[in-house]
């Protein structure tokens, strides 16, 4: 299913999008990857949605990626005797480990690890930052605070601790169970929530055992500070602006988003921009102008993918939300300014033979009448390097691995084609020409670029660049074995 855009769209599934007809409609409208949110839904529901996605993939003969998003450690206050209380600015309020129901003066915070890490002057944010507390005094089982920003606090509201790196395991017991379940189920990407350090990622990778690629969600200040180390051990990144905007001043988020996108692109690792992109479309068939601009900005910045959360999972207009994203992407990418921005931000990294070959492929494609770059890839690395170049022509990723093709569904500009195992380069060129013609990228009178590694099916061996005709008769007459 050919898209008329390069950026990919991730749609979260939920109560509003759990049937075959709806999931198929979302894919046809533009969703390239589906997100399964492990914070909501039983394992049986997750398995059912996974099976439907794979059925849609089969029925439409279209590669679809599946991203399972782990919940991560959730920090919440206890319950109140009255259900809720009003905290006034300047008032004193205590958090402790006592099991009694909360009052206007105190409430349980059943997380001793938080008290172990707190220091006077630290801030605690409750209910997505609507309530802000400053720690005045603390111990191993309490924190006496001053209310900096008041409001209504109620049962089991979430707590953010932006000022310290918490001694929390990156994966809760629920996360470990969910990880094992979805890895066995066969998801393509595993998203880790509330990552604070590179060790959080390596722990998950060890548990995953190669069954899925690892994507780190950047949503804490500690993750921003340790980003280079986290990026190095991750397969992809999500800029999760929801919690990031709670724990940091909101004006800090846009420059962080731009910086992280550029670092991911330089590292040839896919990056998703997520959270509140078309928030108003949960209840409205039309987005706000500001939301459209937000989506467009992420595309102009060169992100690999943009994501819908509640808009497609629980909103009233899931198909309309995907359609809107698709339309915005097509319009932005047809803007000459988009090309100027993308090319101006291209990093000149030429450390390996593969780097040089994909850079040369892009330059040749853009200075001649080449219709597509066909890259043969076993692990997906060559396609990722090609996508980093952001060429003006389509990228057709040819692979014998279904898993690789599904993971590449998240990568900018890639159209994946499953091929059989190859033994000769001429066979690869013929397959590339057929894929370009059948996908509508070229006809028999056109030329394509083919990149490959010999021997075939060996990761990291990209060493051939060939300008090839799309006419198979010319390939057989002129191409070397």
Distance CA 477, CA 365 (A): 23
**CB–CB of 146/92 below 8 Å?**
yes
User: Which residues lie closer than 8 Å to 351 by C-beta, 6 or more apart?
Assistant: none
Contacts from 41-49 at CB under 8 Å and sequence distance 24+? 41/14, 43/178, 43/181, 45/18, 46/181, 46/182, 46/185, 47/185, 48/18, 49/13, 49/18, 49/23
- List 399's β-bridge partners, or say none: 418
Chain centre to alpha carbon of residue 367: 32
Distance CA 348, CA 287 (A): 37
Distances (CA, A) of 98 to 106, 142, 156, 287, 452: 10, 9, 15, 46, 64
Please give the angle made by the CA atoms of 450, 456 and 459, to the nearest 5 degrees.
95
Of 322, 329, 336, 432, the residue nearest 375 (C-alpha):
432
- List 382's β-bridge partners, or say none: none
Of 16, 60, 20, the residue nearest 40 (C-alpha):
16
Assign 3-class secondary structure to 23-37.
HHHHHHHCCCEEEEE
Enumerate the active-site residues: 35, 76, 217, 275
Distance CA 141, CA 235 (A): 39
Cis peptide before 455 (omega within 30 of 0): yes
Residue 148 has phi, psi (to 5 degrees) of -85, -40
Concatenate the DSSP letters of all residues of 89-147 into one string. Answer: TT-EEEEES--SPB-SSEEE---HHHHHH--TT-EEEETTTTEEEEEEEEETTEEEEEE
**CB–CB of 375/381 below 8 Å?**
no
Concatenate the DSSP letters of all residues of 33-96 into one string. Answer: EEEEETTSS-HHHHHHHHHHHHHHHHHHT---EEEEE---PPPB---BTTSEEEEPTT-EEEEE
**CB–CB of 150/87 below 8 Å?**
yes
Distance CA 353, CA 340 (A): 27
User: Where would I find the beta strands (DSSP E) of 345-446?
Assistant: 370-376, 395-399, 414-418
């Amino acid at each position: 299913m050919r898209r008329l855009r390069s950026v990919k769209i991730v749609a979260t599934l939920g109560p509003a999008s759990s049937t075959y007809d709806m999931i198929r409609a979302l894919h046809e409208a533009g969703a390239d990857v589906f997100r399964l949110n492990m914070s909501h839904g039983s394992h049986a529901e997750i398995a059912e949605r996974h099976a439907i996605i794979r059925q849609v993939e089969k029925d439409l003969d279209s590669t679809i990626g599946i991203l399972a998003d782990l919940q991560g450690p959730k920090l919440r206050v206890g319950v109140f005797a009255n259900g809720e209380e009003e905290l006034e600015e300047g008032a004193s309020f205590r958090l402790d480990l006592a099991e009694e129901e909360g009052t206007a003066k105190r409430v349980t915070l059943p997380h001793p690890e938080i008290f172990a890490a707190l220091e006077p002057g630290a801030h605690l944010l409750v209910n997505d930052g609507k309530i802000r507390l400053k720690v005045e005094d603390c111990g191993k089982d309490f924190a006496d605070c001053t209310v900096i920003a008041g409001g209504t606090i109620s049962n089991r509201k979430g707590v953010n601790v932006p000022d310290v790196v918490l001694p929390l395991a990156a994966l809760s017991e629920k996360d470990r169970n969910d990880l094992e379940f979805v890895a066995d189920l066969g998801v393509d990407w595993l998203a880790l929530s509330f990552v604070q350090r590179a060790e959080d990622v390596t722990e998950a990778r060890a548990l995953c055992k190669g069954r899925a690629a690892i994507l780190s969600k950047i949503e804490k200040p500690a993750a921003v500070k340790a980003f280079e180390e986290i990026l190095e051990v991750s397969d992809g990144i999500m800029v999760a602006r929801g919690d990031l905007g709670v724990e940091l001043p909101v004006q800090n988020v846009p420059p962080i988003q731009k910086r992280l996108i550029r670092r991911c692109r330089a590292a040839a690792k896919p990056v998703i921009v997520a959270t509140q992109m078309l928030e108003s479309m949960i209840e409205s068939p039309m987005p706000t102008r500001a939301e459209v601009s937000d989506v467009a900005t992420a595309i102009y910045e060169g992100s690999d993918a943009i994501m819908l959360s509640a808009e497609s999972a629980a909103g009233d207009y899931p198909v309309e939300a995907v359609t809107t994203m698709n339309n915005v992407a097509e319009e932005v990418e047809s803007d000459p300014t988009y090309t100027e921005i993308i090319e101006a931000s291209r990093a000149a990294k030429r450390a390996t033979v593969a780097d040089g070959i994909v850079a040369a492929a892009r330059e040749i494609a853009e200075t001649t009448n080449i219709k597509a770059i066909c890259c043969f890839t076993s692990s997906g690395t060559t396609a990722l390097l090609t996508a980093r170049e952001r060429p003006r022509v389509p990228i057709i990723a040819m692979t014998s691995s279904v898993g690789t093709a599904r993971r590449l569904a998240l990568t900018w500009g890639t159209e994946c084609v499953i091929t059989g195992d190859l033994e000769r380069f001429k066979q690869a060129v013929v397959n590339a020409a057929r894929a370009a013609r059948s996908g509508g990228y070229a006809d028999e009178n056109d030329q394509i670029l083919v990149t490959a590694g010999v021997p075939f099916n060996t990761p990291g061996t990209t060493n051939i660049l060939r300008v090839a005709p799309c006419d198979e008769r010319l390939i057989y007459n002129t191409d070397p074995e």
